[in-house]
């Protein structure tokens, strides 16, 4: 998404934010997530490009405005040394060699979901997470 910026009414300093959409890869049902990078220094350091495979570390927060709640997903770290070998697997691997065609999938988080427990086994509810 295009970079946005402005001046803080509270501090008077300039700010910049850029939003990205990532898609998980190597899963039966890929998922998408919109996240933002705040600060011109982080935007430049992360240098995120379409089609890269990477791990994105982020914080999730919510704020209320006029009786409605809005979620914010803000990246604080990007790691490009990731290779996914099996669905849900997040093992490290080297990026594609220089000159190789870019993968079709956008940026991807790597995570492993916890193993489901049998109902009543260490849990007070029957939710799978």
Distances in Å between the alpha carbon of 94 and those of 9, 26, 28, 84, 100?
A: 44, 16, 23, 10, 13
Model confidence, pTM: 0.58
State pLDDT tens for residues 118-127. Answer: 555 554 555 5
Using CA atoms, how far residue 19 sits from 50, 87, 115, 123, 126, in Å, is: 12, 26, 32, 37, 36
Residue 20 has pLDDT above 70, yes or no: yes
Contact present, 73 and 34 (Cβ < 8 Å): yes
State residue 97's pLDDT score: 40
Lowest mean per-residue pLDDT among 43-52, 65-74, 118-127: 118-127
In the DSSP assignment, the letter for residue 102 is P
The ranges assigned to domains in the chain are 1-129
For position 121, what pLDDT does the model report? 52
- How many Å separate Cα 25 from the centre of its chain? 12
Closest Cα partner for 3 from 41, 54, 55? 41
Give pLDDT, residue 101: 43
Integer Cα distance of 104 and 23 in angstroms: 11
CA dist 31 and 23 (Å) reads 5
């Amino acid at each position: 998404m295009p970079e946005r910026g402005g001046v803080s009414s509270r501090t008077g300093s300039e700010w910049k934010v850029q939003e990205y959409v990532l898609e998980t890869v190597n899963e039966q049902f890929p998922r998408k997530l919109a996240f933002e990078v705040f600060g011109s220094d982080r935007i430049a350091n992360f240098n995120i490009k379409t089609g890269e495979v990477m791990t994105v570390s982020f914080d999730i927060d919510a704020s209320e405005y006029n009786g409605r709640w809005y979620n914010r997903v803000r990246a604080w770290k990007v790691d490009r040394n990731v290779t996914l070998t099996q669905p849900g697997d997040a093992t490290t691997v080297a990026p594609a060699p220089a000159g190789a065609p870019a993968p079709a999938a956008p940026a991807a988080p790597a995570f492993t979901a916890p193993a489901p427990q049998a109902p009543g086994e260490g849990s007070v509810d029957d939710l799978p997470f």
